[in-house]
Amino acid sequence: MNNFSYTKANSVDQAVSLTYANEDNKIIAGGTNIIDLMKYFVTEADTLVDINPIDGIAEITESDNGGIRIGALMTNADTAYHPIIEEKYPLLSKAILAGASAQIRNMATNGGNLLQRTRCYYFYDINTPCNKRVPGSGCSAMKGYNRIHAILGHSENCIAVFPSDMCVALAALEAVVHISGTDGDRTLKFSDFHRLPGDTPEIDNNLKKGEVITGIELPEKGFSKNYSYLKLRDRSSYSFALVSVATGLELENGIIKEARIALGGVSHKPWRVKEAEDFLTDKAANSENFAAAADIILEGAVGFEHNSFKINLAKKAIVRNCMMALDPTSQRPGAKPSL
């Protein structure tokens, strides 16, 4: 780890000013990712700017649209177990609790969750080429061991995936990200926050220089009656998803009036295809229609030497998770989905 200095920001404006002044000044809140990156020499910081002293962004408040605004400094654990989240947005609670470990969730913040970086092995190994770490050096995963890597939205420059569980649910719920910067406050639709790799895989998101996430807004509709989050991984805990699916359904007499489906573990950002959701609208909630929607979602999917299995796995996961959303009680450990 390189030598660095440490300072505290007592306001959002101060945090913005400090990070805008020097792009090597890095925000730290929970520290569950940035410290690892520094220890592996993937990231260096001149100064770590601790934003924990900032008031007003570690709580949940009501928003004007009937929804809520979740503070960026709230921990993942406090968010998942908050009564409002458990009651109105259980999909988000379930997704958060599928991620990391209890110890990490107690420290990790919501803002940091959005900003975490890929867990690609080659990204963390500074002795191997990685376009995300060193632009133009090459992508070692392309012809290396790529079991965990992308099947959708990748480019010839990068096949890394975004590791968050929380963000998959936020994508399905159509969250909005609140941001502060030198030009004032602005919002970004969640679908516009993260980026696909394209020619610039080193850029993970659409934050501008010096901008700080202050909150995440959720609309009123939380799909609290029919929802499910499914995470498929190599071990049952403390492991990143090979494929994850967040599903929210609005049903009327067995007919789908609205559907939301987002995938994780398959792309550089949470993957959502509106055409598949539109296809399901006004159709019967059954496995045949869910399978057809899965085909739409996975159109154009391309695997590599070690991860082509994820295409079929993703299709089965989508169908299974949508069936589970018909009866959320089926999500008890060991329970099978409704048929």
pLDDT of 335 above 70: no
Long-range CB contacts (within 8 A, 24+) of 225-228: 225/251, 225/328, 226/250, 226/251, 226/325, 226/326, 226/328, 227/90, 227/91, 227/94, 227/325, 227/328, 228/91, 228/94, 228/321, 228/322, 228/324, 228/325, 228/328, 228/330, 228/331
Residue 298, in any domain of the structure: yes
Residue range 223-247, pLDDT digits in tens: 999 999 999 999 988 899 999 999 9
Residue 254, in any domain of the structure: yes
Residue 148, in any domain of the structure: no
Q: Which domain holds residue 318?
A: 227-327
CATH number for the domain harbouring residue 277: 3.30.390.50
For tokens 């789908």, name the residue.
256
Residue range 179-189, pLDDT digits in tens: 999 999 999 99
Residue 90, in any domain of the structure: no
pLDDT of 337 above 70: no
For the ranges 97-101, 276-280, 334-338, which has the lowest average pLDDT? Answer: 334-338
Looking at the chain, the whole-number percentage of residues with pLDDT higher than 70 is 97
Residue 311, in any domain of the structure: yes
Whether residue 101 contacts residue 237, with contact meaning beta carbons closer than 8 Å, is answered with yes
Residue 41, in any domain of the structure: no
CA 138 to each of CA 152, 197, 251, 298, 302: distance values in angstroms, whole numbers, following the listed order: 19, 13, 47, 26, 19
Residue range 265-312, pLDDT digits in tens: 999 999 999 999 999 999 999 999 999 999 999 999 999 999 999 999
Q: Which residue has the higher pLDDT, 288 or 331?
A: 288
Q: How confident is the model at residue 12 (pLDDT cuts 50, 70, 90)?
A: very high
Q: How confident is the model at residue 321 (pLDDT cuts 50, 70, 90)?
A: very high
Residue 91, in any domain of the structure: no
pLDDT at 338: 43
pLDDT at 65: 87
pLDDT of 334 above 80: no
Q: Domain tally for the chain?
A: 1
pLDDT at 326: 97
Residue range 126-171, pLDDT digits in tens: 999 999 999 999 999 999 999 999 999 999 999 999 999 999 999 9
Per the prediction, the chain carries an average pLDDT of 97
Residue 251, in any domain of the structure: yes
